[in-house]
Amino acid sequence: MRQKVQVILINGKNPLTKMGGYQTYTYNLAKILTSLGYRVKIFCFGAQNKTIQSDIGTIQTVYFRLFYLPLIRSVELTGLIFLAPILAWSIHQDLKNHPRKIVWGIGPWSLSAAMLKLIYPKLHYLSFYPTTFQHEFRGTLEALNLKDYGLVPKLEAYLAFYTIIPLYTLLERFFLKLADKIVIHYSSAQKILQEQFDIKDNQFIKIPDYSEPVKKPFKTQPKIPQLVKPFILLITRQDSRKGINFLLHAFAILNQRGIKYSAAIIGGGRMLQANRSLAQKLQLKNVYLPGFTTDPSYFLKKADVYVFSSVEEGSSAISILEAMQYGLPIVSTNVDGLVEDLEDKKSALLVPPKNPQALADAMQKLIQNPKLAKRLGKAAKKAFQAKHHLTKVKKELSSLIATYYT
């Protein structure tokens, strides 16, 4: 029966080759669904129209020239309203002869799925939605410290918040209301969505999240100098809402205290160069920002402490799940769904956001107390296994799809 059910996942970027949280999420979801026996097909943009067979299902890339315009590539949010109909049209061609399908929109790409729902009212439409544009950009604004980044990024964020975000909030209301079910992994996400859009409880379905590091096949691994132990790690996309500037100030505090360590903030993004400049300004010679990694597990295996400085997440974070899975002692801000995965002083040390002093104090505590670090790491791994075990995730995903195909 499962082999007759096709699940179409919609994500603008190819999860086999592109970086980012939504791509990692899509990869892991597709891998699980494929292992359960469902036929998975992922629609995304690519350099040409191409069908790729992979171990996570069929990847259908759609070529659209405007996707490669500099403006859309640098500010992807700008292009969503133009790009979502292109993907919807490509999927529409695929649906004509095979209507017995589930279409699953990943984040903002749920707009494509909603368009298809209007064409095929009996189509089963799921939306994974961990936060809202408004909530996310509010975190962006809060994190853009003028002393760290100057006036221009702050003005750009304010411009987006008061022009583009209201438009996309209307789109969110449209495509979320049409969803048969909104898939969430954290109560914080449901709270955010309901406060903004007044969505009924029965439209949500909460299932455990699962993530493991995804190794990309073709890019070179970033190189960093010989690491001084203990090694502190953060893997994240370099957006301002990730609070990396506050973490850099926390590292400066540790250096002023004479604490010996090395650290790496792994990942690319719009703020990478700005964060490198800030690190240089703060004279953080023992902190490295090498950019993208093709293999997060390489650094997770080397890490002694994992730190997460985000100002906004909506839900929790994929990299937190990965750190828990590796049994790393974690210092994290206590925002949104992070507190649903981590318990202060039991499975992590939690601190307020935008607080370099608190981040520095917590990291120093783990560096100087190896027994505490070991205990927290073991507890984090145990918490991951209890809540996010793959067997449990598979069971609940099967139950979700069985509600449409029994």
Look at residues 81, 50, 52, 88 and name the one whose alpha carbon lies nearest to residue 66.
Answer: 81
Contact 292, 219 (CB under 8 A): yes
**CA 92, CA 178: separation in Å to the nearest integer?**
17
Q: Are residues 41 and 171 both part of a single domain?
A: yes
Regarding whether 172 and 41 lie in a shared domain, the answer is yes
Best CA proximity match to 380, nearest among 319, 336, 293: 319
Q: Are strands 57-62 and 50-54 parallel, antiparallel or unpaired?
A: antiparallel
Domain assignment present for 177: yes
Using CA atoms, how far apart are residues 27 and 38, in angstroms rounded to an integer? 14
What is the layout of strands, in order, in the sheet containing 6-10?
50-54, 57-62, 39-45, 6-10, 101-106, 124-128, 181-184, 204-206
Query: Quick check: is 74 in a domain?
Result: yes
pLDDT (tens place) for every residue of the chain, 406 residues total: 555 688 999 998 899 888 788 999 999 999 999 999 999 999 999 888 999 999 999 999 998 776 555 544 444 556 788 889 999 999 988 887 665 689 999 999 999 999 999 998 888 999 999 999 999 999 999 999 999 999 998 998 888 889 888 989 999 999 999 999 999 999 999 999 999 998 999 999 999 998 877 776 655 667 777 788 999 999 999 999 999 999 999 999 999 999 999 999 999 888 999 999 999 999 999 999 998 888 888 899 999 999 999 999 999 899 999 999 999 999 999 999 999 999 999 999 999 999 999 999 999 999 999 999 999 999 999 999 999 989 989 999 999 998 876 5
Please indicate, yes or no, whether residues 91 and 206 belong to a single structural domain of this protein. Answer: yes
Residue 375 belongs to some domain of the structure: yes
Token digits of residue 263:
């650290």
pLDDT of amino acid 74:
42
Q: Structural domain of residue 136, as residue ranges?
A: 2-210+390-402
Q: How many domains does the chain have?
A: 2
User: Are both 196 and 246 inside the same structural domain?
Assistant: no
Is the residue at 144 inside a domain? yes
Q: Domain check: are 276 and 369 in the same one?
A: yes
Q: Are residues 125 and 39 in the same domain?
A: yes
pLDDT, position 99: 55
Q: Do 356 and 397 share a domain, yes or no? A: no
Vertex 95, ends 22 and 10: CA angle to 5°?
Answer: 5
Would the pTM count as exceeding 0.85? Answer: yes
Give a yes or no: residue 219 inside a domain: no
217 lies in some domain: no
Residue 296's pLDDT is what?
A: 87
pLDDT of residue 241: 93
Do residues 139 and 251 share a domain?
no
Question: Does residue 218 lie in a domain region?
Answer: no
Is residue 220 situated within a structural domain?
no
Say whether both 31 and 169 belong to one domain. Answer: yes
Does 181 lie in the same domain as 136?
Answer: yes
Question: Are 334 and 315 members of one domain?
Answer: yes
Please report the pLDDT score of residue 95 as a whole number: 81
Burial (CB count within 10 angstroms: exposed 0-12, middle 13-18, buried 19+), residue 193: buried
Report the pLDDT value the prediction gives residue 404, as an integer from 0 to 100.
76
For residue 88, give the CATH number of its domain. 3.40.50.2000
Same-domain check for residues 279 and 374: yes
Tokens of 329: 């002692």
Contact (Cβ atoms closer than 8 angstroms) between residue 342 and residue 319: no
